[in-house]
Structure 1
Amino acid sequence: MTNAHEPRFAANLKWLFTEDPLEGRFAAAADEGFAGVELPAPGGLTAARTARLLEENGLEAVLLNVAQGPSGSPTAGGAACLPDHVDTFRDLVDEGLDFAGEIGCRTVHVVGGRIPDGVSRDDAFARYVHNIGWAAARAEGTGLRIVLEMQNQRDAPGFVLGSQAMAAAVAKAVGGPVGLLFDVFHTQVAEGDVTRTFDAVRPLVQHIQIGDGPGRTEPGTGELDWHYVVEHVRASGYTGWFGCEFIPAGTSAGVLQRLKEAVR
Protein backbone atom coordinates (compact mmCIF):
# COMPACT_ATOMS: atom_id res chain seq x y z
CA MET A 1 0.00 0.00 0.00
CA THR A 2 1.30 3.48 -0.88
CA ASN A 3 1.98 5.83 2.02
CA ALA A 4 0.20 9.16 1.46
CA HIS A 5 3.42 10.97 2.38
CA GLU A 6 5.54 9.16 -0.23
CA PRO A 7 5.81 9.89 -3.97
CA ARG A 8 3.54 7.74 -6.10
CA PHE A 9 5.59 5.63 -8.50
CA ALA A 10 3.97 3.89 -11.50
CA ALA A 11 5.67 0.99 -13.25
CA ASN A 12 6.08 1.45 -16.99
CA LEU A 13 5.24 -1.99 -18.37
CA LYS A 14 7.32 -1.49 -21.51
CA TRP A 15 10.52 -0.81 -19.55
CA LEU A 16 10.09 -2.78 -16.32
CA PHE A 17 9.48 -6.48 -15.67
CA THR A 18 10.55 -7.35 -19.19
CA GLU A 19 11.62 -10.74 -17.86
CA ASP A 20 7.90 -11.58 -18.14
CA PRO A 21 5.57 -11.40 -21.17
CA LEU A 22 3.36 -8.30 -21.17
CA GLU A 23 0.41 -10.12 -19.65
CA GLY A 24 2.55 -11.27 -16.71
CA ARG A 25 3.95 -7.82 -15.94
CA PHE A 26 0.75 -6.67 -14.24
CA ALA A 27 1.09 -9.25 -11.47
CA ALA A 28 4.83 -8.63 -11.26
CA ALA A 29 4.26 -4.90 -10.75
CA ALA A 30 1.60 -5.52 -8.11
CA ASP A 31 3.82 -8.04 -6.30
CA GLU A 32 6.60 -5.44 -6.26
CA GLY A 33 4.24 -3.00 -4.53
CA PHE A 34 3.28 -0.68 -7.38
CA ALA A 35 -0.29 0.65 -7.36
CA GLY A 36 -0.14 2.32 -10.79
CA VAL A 37 1.15 1.34 -14.21
CA GLU A 38 1.99 3.10 -17.46
CA LEU A 39 0.94 1.08 -20.48
CA PRO A 40 2.48 0.61 -23.89
CA ALA A 41 0.31 1.46 -26.85
CA PRO A 42 -2.83 -0.54 -27.64
CA GLY A 43 -2.15 -3.69 -29.60
CA GLY A 44 -0.40 -5.99 -27.16
CA LEU A 45 -3.60 -6.92 -25.32
CA THR A 46 -7.26 -6.17 -25.89
CA ALA A 47 -8.88 -3.46 -23.81
CA ALA A 48 -11.13 -6.02 -22.13
CA ARG A 49 -8.18 -8.23 -21.16
CA THR A 50 -6.18 -5.21 -19.97
CA ALA A 51 -9.07 -4.03 -17.80
CA ARG A 52 -9.35 -7.48 -16.23
CA LEU A 53 -5.62 -7.64 -15.49
CA LEU A 54 -5.76 -4.21 -13.86
CA GLU A 55 -8.71 -5.19 -11.71
CA GLU A 56 -7.32 -8.60 -10.74
CA ASN A 57 -4.06 -7.05 -9.59
CA GLY A 58 -5.47 -3.94 -7.90
CA LEU A 59 -3.70 -1.60 -10.32
CA GLU A 60 -4.60 1.78 -11.81
CA ALA A 61 -3.64 2.61 -15.39
CA VAL A 62 -2.19 6.12 -15.12
CA LEU A 63 -0.83 6.67 -18.66
CA LEU A 64 -1.44 5.17 -22.09
CA ASN A 65 0.66 5.92 -25.18
CA VAL A 66 -1.05 6.34 -28.52
CA ALA A 67 0.37 3.66 -30.81
CA GLN A 68 3.32 4.36 -33.08
CA GLY A 69 4.17 2.69 -36.35
CA PRO A 70 6.45 -0.33 -36.70
CA SER A 71 10.22 0.09 -36.41
CA GLY A 72 11.69 1.60 -39.56
CA SER A 73 8.40 3.10 -40.73
CA PRO A 74 7.84 6.88 -41.08
CA THR A 75 5.46 6.78 -38.10
CA ALA A 76 7.76 4.76 -35.81
CA GLY A 77 8.44 7.84 -33.67
CA GLY A 78 4.85 9.08 -33.73
CA ALA A 79 2.62 10.46 -36.48
CA ALA A 80 1.48 13.82 -35.14
CA CYS A 81 3.89 15.98 -37.17
CA LEU A 82 3.79 14.04 -40.44
CA PRO A 83 1.90 15.93 -43.18
CA ASP A 84 1.42 12.79 -45.30
CA HIS A 85 0.01 10.61 -42.52
CA VAL A 86 -2.96 12.58 -41.19
CA ASP A 87 -5.44 9.71 -41.60
CA THR A 88 -3.08 7.34 -39.79
CA PHE A 89 -2.67 9.85 -36.98
CA ARG A 90 -6.40 10.22 -36.56
CA ASP A 91 -6.99 6.48 -36.57
CA LEU A 92 -4.30 5.97 -33.90
CA VAL A 93 -5.69 8.75 -31.70
CA ASP A 94 -9.22 7.39 -31.92
CA GLU A 95 -7.92 3.92 -31.09
CA GLY A 96 -5.98 5.26 -28.10
CA LEU A 97 -8.85 7.31 -26.71
CA ASP A 98 -11.28 4.40 -27.05
CA PHE A 99 -8.82 2.01 -25.39
CA ALA A 100 -8.13 4.44 -22.54
CA GLY A 101 -11.83 4.92 -21.92
CA GLU A 102 -12.41 1.17 -21.75
CA ILE A 103 -9.65 0.56 -19.21
CA GLY A 104 -10.32 3.63 -17.07
CA CYS A 105 -7.08 5.46 -17.91
CA ARG A 106 -7.56 9.23 -17.87
CA THR A 107 -4.24 10.33 -19.39
CA VAL A 108 -3.26 9.67 -23.01
CA HIS A 109 0.15 10.54 -24.43
CA VAL A 110 0.07 11.60 -28.07
CA VAL A 111 3.61 11.10 -29.38
CA GLY A 112 4.86 13.96 -31.55
CA GLY A 113 7.03 12.22 -34.13
CA ARG A 114 10.26 12.99 -35.95
CA ILE A 115 10.37 15.47 -38.82
CA PRO A 116 10.84 13.44 -42.03
CA ASP A 117 13.37 14.17 -44.72
CA GLY A 118 12.05 16.63 -47.26
CA VAL A 119 9.66 18.35 -44.82
CA SER A 120 10.57 21.71 -43.31
CA ARG A 121 10.47 22.18 -39.54
CA ASP A 122 7.86 24.92 -39.99
CA ASP A 123 5.56 22.66 -42.02
CA ALA A 124 5.97 19.74 -39.62
CA PHE A 125 5.34 21.94 -36.60
CA ALA A 126 2.24 23.50 -38.19
CA ARG A 127 0.87 20.02 -38.92
CA TYR A 128 1.66 18.98 -35.36
CA VAL A 129 -0.25 21.88 -33.82
CA HIS A 130 -3.20 21.28 -36.12
CA ASN A 131 -3.25 17.56 -35.32
CA ILE A 132 -3.05 18.13 -31.57
CA GLY A 133 -5.96 20.55 -31.88
CA TRP A 134 -7.94 17.82 -33.66
CA ALA A 135 -7.05 15.29 -30.94
CA ALA A 136 -8.03 17.74 -28.21
CA ALA A 137 -11.44 18.18 -29.82
CA ARG A 138 -11.89 14.40 -29.88
CA ALA A 139 -11.02 14.18 -26.18
CA GLU A 140 -13.23 17.11 -25.14
CA GLY A 141 -16.05 16.00 -22.88
CA THR A 142 -14.76 12.43 -22.47
CA GLY A 143 -13.01 12.96 -19.14
CA LEU A 144 -9.71 12.11 -20.81
CA ARG A 145 -6.74 14.41 -21.04
CA ILE A 146 -3.96 14.51 -23.63
CA VAL A 147 -0.35 15.07 -22.67
CA LEU A 148 2.53 16.21 -24.89
CA GLU A 149 6.17 15.31 -24.38
CA MET A 150 9.38 16.87 -25.66
CA GLN A 151 12.25 14.52 -26.47
CA ASN A 152 15.93 15.28 -26.59
CA GLN A 153 17.61 15.55 -29.97
CA ARG A 154 20.49 13.25 -29.03
CA ASP A 155 18.26 10.19 -28.59
CA ALA A 156 15.41 11.27 -30.89
CA PRO A 157 17.03 13.37 -33.64
CA GLY A 158 14.51 15.46 -35.50
CA PHE A 159 11.77 15.07 -32.88
CA VAL A 160 9.24 17.85 -33.38
CA LEU A 161 9.32 19.12 -29.78
CA GLY A 162 12.86 19.92 -28.64
CA SER A 163 12.23 21.84 -25.44
CA GLN A 164 9.75 22.11 -22.60
CA ALA A 165 8.99 25.68 -23.64
CA MET A 166 7.98 24.52 -27.13
CA ALA A 167 5.72 21.81 -25.70
CA ALA A 168 4.17 24.31 -23.31
CA ALA A 169 3.51 26.77 -26.13
CA VAL A 170 1.56 24.12 -28.04
CA ALA A 171 -0.44 23.11 -24.97
CA LYS A 172 -1.33 26.74 -24.29
CA ALA A 173 -2.24 27.44 -27.91
CA VAL A 174 -4.49 24.39 -28.20
CA GLY A 175 -6.02 24.62 -24.72
CA GLY A 176 -8.77 22.27 -23.65
CA PRO A 177 -7.78 18.93 -22.14
CA VAL A 178 -4.10 19.26 -23.16
CA GLY A 179 -1.16 19.37 -20.77
CA LEU A 180 2.43 18.24 -20.47
CA LEU A 181 4.18 14.99 -19.77
CA PHE A 182 7.36 16.23 -18.07
CA ASP A 183 10.09 13.67 -18.68
CA VAL A 184 13.02 14.31 -16.33
CA PHE A 185 15.51 12.31 -18.40
CA HIS A 186 14.73 14.11 -21.68
CA THR A 187 14.84 17.45 -19.88
CA GLN A 188 18.20 16.73 -18.29
CA VAL A 189 19.77 15.74 -21.62
CA ALA A 190 18.22 18.55 -23.67
CA GLU A 191 18.22 21.45 -21.26
CA GLY A 192 19.64 20.58 -17.85
CA ASP A 193 18.60 22.70 -14.87
CA VAL A 194 15.70 20.29 -14.35
CA THR A 195 13.93 21.96 -11.45
CA ARG A 196 13.97 25.47 -12.92
CA THR A 197 12.80 24.10 -16.24
CA PHE A 198 10.01 22.30 -14.39
CA ASP A 199 9.03 25.49 -12.55
CA ALA A 200 8.66 27.37 -15.85
CA VAL A 201 6.02 24.94 -17.11
CA ARG A 202 4.58 23.67 -13.81
CA PRO A 203 0.97 24.90 -14.36
CA LEU A 204 0.71 22.65 -17.44
CA VAL A 205 2.32 19.50 -16.03
CA GLN A 206 -0.16 16.62 -15.78
CA HIS A 207 2.24 13.68 -15.52
CA ILE A 208 5.94 13.08 -14.84
CA GLN A 209 8.30 10.37 -16.02
CA ILE A 210 11.65 9.65 -14.42
CA GLY A 211 14.96 8.22 -15.57
CA ASP A 212 18.52 9.17 -14.68
CA GLY A 213 21.01 10.86 -16.97
CA PRO A 214 22.92 10.39 -19.11
CA GLY A 215 21.49 7.02 -20.22
CA ARG A 216 17.89 6.76 -18.94
CA THR A 217 18.98 4.41 -16.20
CA GLU A 218 17.37 3.77 -12.83
CA PRO A 219 17.28 6.83 -10.54
CA GLY A 220 20.26 6.74 -8.23
CA THR A 221 22.62 5.29 -10.85
CA GLY A 222 23.39 8.48 -12.78
CA GLU A 223 24.04 12.18 -12.41
CA LEU A 224 20.87 13.58 -10.80
CA ASP A 225 20.14 14.23 -7.12
CA TRP A 226 16.79 12.48 -6.88
CA HIS A 227 15.96 13.54 -3.34
CA TYR A 228 16.30 17.16 -4.42
CA VAL A 229 14.38 16.73 -7.71
CA VAL A 230 11.44 14.82 -6.25
CA GLU A 231 11.09 16.99 -3.16
CA HIS A 232 11.23 20.13 -5.29
CA VAL A 233 8.48 18.80 -7.55
CA ARG A 234 6.30 17.78 -4.61
CA ALA A 235 6.84 21.17 -2.93
CA SER A 236 5.29 22.74 -6.04
CA GLY A 237 2.00 21.04 -5.18
CA TYR A 238 2.34 18.20 -7.68
CA THR A 239 0.54 15.15 -6.28
CA GLY A 240 0.45 13.02 -9.42
CA TRP A 241 2.38 9.95 -10.46
CA PHE A 242 6.05 9.51 -11.26
CA GLY A 243 6.19 7.08 -14.17
CA CYS A 244 9.18 4.74 -14.10
CA GLU A 245 10.37 4.81 -17.72
CA PHE A 246 13.97 3.68 -17.35
CA ILE A 247 16.37 0.77 -17.64
CA PRO A 248 16.39 -0.98 -14.26
CA ALA A 249 19.63 -1.78 -12.46
CA GLY A 250 19.78 -5.50 -13.17
CA THR A 251 16.36 -7.12 -12.99
CA SER A 252 13.23 -5.26 -11.94
CA ALA A 253 13.09 -7.14 -8.65
CA GLY A 254 13.46 -4.68 -5.77
CA VAL A 255 13.15 -1.63 -8.01
CA LEU A 256 10.45 0.07 -5.94
CA GLN A 257 12.45 -0.17 -2.73
CA ARG A 258 15.55 1.14 -4.53
CA LEU A 259 13.52 4.09 -5.82
CA LYS A 260 12.32 4.94 -2.35
CA GLU A 261 15.91 4.88 -1.11
CA ALA A 262 17.07 7.04 -4.03
CA VAL A 263 14.63 9.84 -3.19
CA ARG A 264 15.10 9.81 0.61
Structure 2
Amino acid sequence: MLKFAANLSMMYQEHRFLDRYAAAAADGYVGVECMFPYEEPATFVRERMDAAGVSQVLFNAPPGVTSKGERGLAALPGRQAEFQAGIEQALSYATALSCANVHVMAGVTPADVTRESLLDCYYENLDWAARQARSAGVTVLIEPINTRDIPGYFLNRQDDAHAIVQAVNAPNLKVQMDLYHCQIVEGDVSMKLRQYLPTGRVGHLQIAGVPLRQEPDRGELDYGWVFRELRELNYTGWIGCEYRPAGSTSAGLRWLTAARA
Protein backbone atom coordinates (compact mmCIF):
# COMPACT_ATOMS: atom_id res chain seq x y z
CA MET A 1 0.00 0.00 0.00
CA LEU A 2 1.26 3.48 -0.85
CA LYS A 3 2.21 5.63 2.16
CA PHE A 4 1.20 9.30 2.10
CA ALA A 5 2.56 12.01 4.40
CA ALA A 6 0.77 15.32 4.86
CA ASN A 7 2.95 18.39 4.36
CA LEU A 8 2.10 20.57 7.35
CA SER A 9 3.70 23.69 5.91
CA MET A 10 1.29 23.79 2.97
CA MET A 11 -1.71 21.77 4.14
CA TYR A 12 -4.06 22.52 7.06
CA GLN A 13 -3.37 26.24 6.91
CA GLU A 14 -6.71 26.71 8.66
CA HIS A 15 -4.96 25.52 11.85
CA ARG A 16 -1.95 26.76 13.79
CA PHE A 17 1.20 24.79 13.00
CA LEU A 18 1.27 22.56 16.09
CA ASP A 19 -2.46 21.84 15.74
CA ARG A 20 -1.89 20.50 12.23
CA TYR A 21 -0.50 17.23 13.58
CA ALA A 22 -3.87 16.30 15.07
CA ALA A 23 -5.73 17.56 11.99
CA ALA A 24 -3.66 15.35 9.70
CA ALA A 25 -4.14 12.34 11.97
CA ALA A 26 -7.91 12.93 11.97
CA ASP A 27 -7.86 12.57 8.17
CA GLY A 28 -6.02 9.27 8.41
CA TYR A 29 -2.44 10.36 7.81
CA VAL A 30 0.14 8.39 9.79
CA GLY A 31 3.13 10.32 8.44
CA VAL A 32 3.78 14.06 8.18
CA GLU A 33 6.48 16.28 6.75
CA CYS A 34 7.10 20.02 6.88
CA MET A 35 9.54 22.57 5.60
CA PHE A 36 10.99 24.28 8.67
CA PRO A 37 9.92 23.29 12.20
CA TYR A 38 12.40 25.57 13.95
CA GLU A 39 9.98 28.27 15.16
CA GLU A 40 8.74 25.76 17.74
CA PRO A 41 10.97 23.96 20.27
CA ALA A 42 11.59 20.36 19.25
CA THR A 43 10.07 19.11 22.51
CA PHE A 44 6.78 20.89 21.72
CA VAL A 45 6.71 19.42 18.22
CA ARG A 46 7.43 15.95 19.60
CA GLU A 47 4.59 16.23 22.11
CA ARG A 48 2.07 17.09 19.39
CA MET A 49 3.45 14.43 17.07
CA ASP A 50 3.17 11.72 19.71
CA ALA A 51 -0.26 12.86 20.86
CA ALA A 52 -1.52 12.63 17.28
CA GLY A 53 0.11 9.23 16.73
CA VAL A 54 1.96 10.27 13.56
CA SER A 55 5.58 10.01 12.45
CA GLN A 56 7.70 12.93 11.26
CA VAL A 57 9.23 11.58 8.05
CA LEU A 58 10.94 14.68 6.59
CA PHE A 59 11.78 18.33 7.13
CA ASN A 60 14.29 20.79 5.66
CA ALA A 61 17.58 21.98 7.06
CA PRO A 62 17.68 25.76 7.70
CA PRO A 63 17.75 27.56 4.32
CA GLY A 64 19.63 30.75 5.22
CA VAL A 65 17.86 34.10 5.45
CA THR A 66 14.58 33.62 3.60
CA SER A 67 13.68 37.32 3.90
CA LYS A 68 16.69 38.01 1.67
CA GLY A 69 15.57 35.42 -0.87
CA GLU A 70 17.92 32.69 0.31
CA ARG A 71 16.77 29.16 -0.43
CA GLY A 72 19.57 27.03 0.92
CA LEU A 73 23.31 27.31 1.46
CA ALA A 74 24.75 23.99 0.35
CA ALA A 75 26.16 25.20 -2.98
CA LEU A 76 27.20 28.71 -1.89
CA PRO A 77 30.96 29.25 -1.42
CA GLY A 78 31.91 31.24 1.67
CA ARG A 79 28.84 30.16 3.64
CA GLN A 80 30.20 26.85 4.93
CA ALA A 81 30.16 27.83 8.61
CA GLU A 82 26.49 28.83 8.42
CA PHE A 83 25.70 25.68 6.47
CA GLN A 84 27.34 23.47 9.07
CA ALA A 85 25.55 25.23 11.94
CA GLY A 86 22.25 24.67 10.13
CA ILE A 87 22.97 20.97 9.64
CA GLU A 88 23.79 20.62 13.32
CA GLN A 89 20.48 22.26 14.23
CA ALA A 90 18.60 20.05 11.78
CA LEU A 91 20.18 16.87 13.16
CA SER A 92 19.29 17.95 16.68
CA TYR A 93 15.64 18.24 15.61
CA ALA A 94 15.84 14.98 13.63
CA THR A 95 17.05 13.16 16.73
CA ALA A 96 14.36 14.69 18.92
CA LEU A 97 11.63 13.86 16.39
CA SER A 98 12.97 10.44 15.33
CA CYS A 99 12.95 11.78 11.77
CA ALA A 100 14.98 9.75 9.27
CA ASN A 101 15.20 12.30 6.41
CA VAL A 102 16.47 15.87 6.17
CA HIS A 103 16.23 17.82 2.90
CA VAL A 104 19.24 20.06 2.29
CA MET A 105 18.55 22.93 -0.13
CA ALA A 106 21.23 23.91 -2.64
CA GLY A 107 20.51 27.63 -2.87
CA VAL A 108 19.99 30.29 -5.52
CA THR A 109 22.89 30.65 -7.93
CA PRO A 110 24.90 33.88 -7.35
CA ALA A 111 25.50 35.92 -10.50
CA ASP A 112 29.27 36.18 -10.09
CA VAL A 113 30.23 32.57 -9.27
CA THR A 114 31.04 29.84 -11.80
CA ARG A 115 29.06 26.62 -11.86
CA GLU A 116 32.29 24.71 -11.27
CA SER A 117 32.90 26.59 -8.01
CA LEU A 118 29.31 26.01 -6.92
CA LEU A 119 29.56 22.29 -7.67
CA ASP A 120 32.83 21.96 -5.75
CA CYS A 121 31.24 23.64 -2.74
CA TYR A 122 28.10 21.51 -3.10
CA TYR A 123 30.08 18.26 -3.18
CA GLU A 124 32.13 19.27 -0.14
CA ASN A 125 29.13 20.38 1.91
CA LEU A 126 27.02 17.35 1.03
CA ASP A 127 29.86 14.99 1.89
CA TRP A 128 30.28 16.73 5.27
CA ALA A 129 26.53 16.73 5.96
CA ALA A 130 26.15 13.06 5.04
CA ARG A 131 29.00 12.09 7.37
CA GLN A 132 27.44 14.04 10.25
CA ALA A 133 24.00 12.59 9.53
CA ARG A 134 25.20 9.00 9.26
CA SER A 135 25.99 8.73 12.95
CA ALA A 136 22.49 10.03 13.72
CA GLY A 137 20.83 7.49 11.41
CA VAL A 138 19.60 10.26 9.11
CA THR A 139 19.48 10.35 5.31
CA VAL A 140 20.34 13.64 3.58
CA LEU A 141 18.15 14.45 0.57
CA ILE A 142 18.68 16.83 -2.34
CA GLU A 143 15.77 17.96 -4.52
CA PRO A 144 15.63 19.33 -8.07
CA ILE A 145 13.33 22.38 -7.97
CA ASN A 146 11.86 24.26 -10.91
CA THR A 147 13.00 27.83 -11.55
CA ARG A 148 9.46 29.16 -11.90
CA ASP A 149 8.83 28.62 -8.19
CA ILE A 150 12.40 29.51 -7.16
CA PRO A 151 14.09 31.58 -9.91
CA GLY A 152 17.78 30.80 -10.19
CA TYR A 153 17.69 27.68 -8.02
CA PHE A 154 20.91 25.73 -8.52
CA LEU A 155 19.55 22.17 -8.91
CA ASN A 156 16.73 21.63 -11.41
CA ARG A 157 17.04 18.28 -13.17
CA GLN A 158 16.76 14.68 -12.03
CA ASP A 159 19.85 13.55 -13.99
CA ASP A 160 21.97 16.27 -12.36
CA ALA A 161 20.78 15.28 -8.89
CA HIS A 162 21.58 11.62 -9.47
CA ALA A 163 24.99 12.49 -10.89
CA ILE A 164 25.76 14.52 -7.75
CA VAL A 165 24.64 11.69 -5.46
CA GLN A 166 26.86 9.28 -7.37
CA ALA A 167 29.83 11.68 -7.28
CA VAL A 168 29.60 12.25 -3.51
CA ASN A 169 29.12 8.50 -3.04
CA ALA A 170 27.70 8.60 0.50
CA PRO A 171 25.31 5.76 1.36
CA ASN A 172 22.92 8.12 3.16
CA LEU A 173 22.73 10.78 0.44
CA LYS A 174 19.70 10.39 -1.85
CA VAL A 175 17.37 12.27 -4.18
CA GLN A 176 14.04 13.76 -3.13
CA MET A 177 11.98 13.36 -6.30
CA ASP A 178 9.14 15.89 -6.38
CA LEU A 179 6.90 15.00 -9.30
CA TYR A 180 5.44 18.51 -9.45
CA HIS A 181 8.88 19.99 -10.11
CA CYS A 182 9.82 17.11 -12.41
CA GLN A 183 6.75 17.62 -14.58
CA ILE A 184 7.37 21.36 -14.94
CA VAL A 185 11.08 21.03 -15.78
CA GLU A 186 11.24 17.78 -17.73
CA GLY A 187 7.91 15.96 -18.02
CA ASP A 188 7.94 12.25 -18.93
CA VAL A 189 7.29 11.45 -15.26
CA SER A 190 6.44 7.77 -15.71
CA MET A 191 9.68 7.05 -17.53
CA LYS A 192 11.65 9.04 -14.95
CA LEU A 193 10.13 6.87 -12.22
CA ARG A 194 10.99 3.71 -14.13
CA GLN A 195 14.52 4.98 -14.68
CA TYR A 196 15.36 6.15 -11.18
CA LEU A 197 13.37 4.18 -8.60
CA PRO A 198 15.16 0.88 -9.33
CA THR A 199 18.56 2.53 -8.66
CA GLY A 200 17.84 2.87 -4.95
CA ARG A 201 18.96 6.51 -5.06
CA VAL A 202 15.46 7.98 -4.57
CA GLY A 203 14.82 8.46 -0.86
CA HIS A 204 11.49 10.31 -0.91
CA LEU A 205 8.73 11.30 -3.34
CA GLN A 206 6.48 14.37 -3.30
CA ILE A 207 3.34 15.18 -5.28
CA ALA A 208 1.12 18.13 -6.23
CA GLY A 209 -1.17 19.08 -9.07
CA VAL A 210 0.46 20.82 -12.04
CA PRO A 211 0.58 23.74 -12.78
CA LEU A 212 -1.16 25.36 -9.76
CA ARG A 213 0.31 23.14 -7.02
CA GLN A 214 -3.12 22.20 -5.72
CA GLU A 215 -4.64 18.79 -5.00
CA PRO A 216 -3.17 15.94 -7.07
CA ASP A 217 -6.50 15.31 -8.81
CA ARG A 218 -6.36 18.80 -10.37
CA GLY A 219 -4.24 19.67 -13.37
CA GLU A 220 -2.35 18.06 -16.20
CA LEU A 221 -0.60 15.18 -14.41
CA ASP A 222 -2.64 11.96 -14.06
CA TYR A 223 -1.80 10.76 -10.58
CA GLY A 224 -4.09 7.76 -10.91
CA TRP A 225 -1.66 6.55 -13.56
CA VAL A 226 1.34 7.59 -11.46
CA PHE A 227 0.11 5.66 -8.42
CA ARG A 228 -0.36 2.53 -10.55
CA GLU A 229 3.22 2.96 -11.78
CA LEU A 230 4.47 3.23 -8.20
CA ARG A 231 2.66 0.05 -7.23
CA GLU A 232 4.10 -1.80 -10.21
CA LEU A 233 7.57 -0.55 -9.28
CA ASN A 234 7.01 -1.74 -5.68
CA TYR A 235 7.78 1.68 -4.23
CA THR A 236 7.59 1.39 -0.44
CA GLY A 237 8.86 4.84 0.64
CA TRP A 238 6.85 7.85 1.71
CA ILE A 239 4.97 10.13 -0.68
CA GLY A 240 4.84 13.68 0.65
CA CYS A 241 1.70 15.66 -0.20
CA GLU A 242 3.36 19.04 -0.74
CA TYR A 243 0.50 21.03 -2.22
CA ARG A 244 -1.61 24.08 -1.46
CA PRO A 245 -5.26 23.02 -1.03
CA ALA A 246 -7.71 24.95 -3.17
CA GLY A 247 -10.02 25.27 -0.14
CA SER A 248 -10.38 23.39 3.11
CA THR A 249 -7.68 20.71 3.31
CA SER A 250 -10.01 17.97 4.54
CA ALA A 251 -12.67 18.76 1.94
CA GLY A 252 -10.13 18.27 -0.85
CA LEU A 253 -9.03 14.75 0.08
CA ARG A 254 -11.20 12.78 -2.34
CA TRP A 255 -8.02 11.99 -4.25
CA LEU A 256 -6.52 10.38 -1.12
CA THR A 257 -9.56 8.15 -0.61
CA ALA A 258 -9.32 7.02 -4.23
CA ALA A 259 -5.56 6.41 -3.97
CA ARG A 260 -5.96 4.28 -0.87
CA ALA A 261 -8.70 2.25 -2.54
**Pairwise CA distance, 1:143:** 1.3
Q: Per-residue CA shift, 1:133-157, capped at 9, x if unaligned?
A: 1101111232111111001122222
TM-score, structure 1 normalization: 0.93
Residue aligning to 1:106: 100
Paired residue for 2:34, among 14, 36, 39?
39
Q: Say whether residues 1:18 and 2:13 are aligned partners.
A: yes
Shift of 1:234: 2.3
CA contact (8 A) 1:33 1:256 kept: no
Q: Is the Cα contact below 8 Å between 1:165 and 1:201 reproduced in 2?
A: no
User: Amino acid of the residue matched to residue 176 of structure 1?
Assistant: P
Number of residue-to-residue matches in the alignment: 258
Q: Which has the larger displacement, 49-58 or 229-238?
A: 229-238
Q: Which amino acid aligns with 2:3?
A: R
| C-alpha distance in structure 1 between counterparts of 2:214 and 2:254, whole Å | 16
Q: Could you tell me which runs of 5 or more consecutive residues in structure 2 were left unpaired when the two chains were aligned.
A: none
- What letter corresponds to residue 110 of structure 1 in structure 2? V
Do structure 1's residue 229 and structure 2's residue 226 form an aligned pair?
yes
Q: Who is 2:189 aligned against?
A: 194
CA distance in structure 2 between the aligned counterparts of 1:237 and 1:260, rounded to whole angstroms: 20
Matching residue's letter, 1:227: G
Q: Does 1:173 align with 2:170?
A: no
Distance 2:174 2:29 in 1: 25
Aligned to 1:48: 43
1:87 aligns with one of 68, 81, 87: 81
User: Structure 2: which amino acid aligns with 1:32?
Assistant: D
1:156 aligns with 2:150: yes
Query: Sequence identity, in percent?
Result: 35
Q: Structure 2: how far apart are the matches of 1:91 and 1:42?
A: 16
Q: Is the 8 A contact 1:26 1:54 kept in 2?
A: yes
Query: Do the aligned residues in 2 keep the contact of 1:210 with 1:245 (CA within 8 Å)?
Result: yes
* C-alpha distance in 2 between matches for 1:189 and 1:263: 26
Q: Distance in 1 between matches of 2:119 and 2:56?
A: 30
Q: 1:125 and 1:254 mapped to 2: Cα distance?
A: 43
- Give the structure 1 partner of residue 236 of structure 2: 239
**Conservation of the 8 A alpha-carbon contact between 2:179 and 2:206:** yes
Contact 2:11 2:249 in 1 (8 A): yes
- The structure 1 segments of at least 4 consecutive aligned residues displaced by more than 6 Å after TM superposition are none
User: In 2, Cα distance between the equivalents of 1:239 and 1:148?
Assistant: 19
**Cα distance in 2, alignment partners of residues 255 and 103 from structure 1:** 28
What RMSD in Å do the two structures reach over aligned CA positions?
Answer: 1.5
- Structure 1 distance, partners of 2:5, 2:78, is 35
Give TM-score scaled by structure 2 length.
0.94
Secondary structure, in 3 states, of the residue corresponding to 1:83? coil
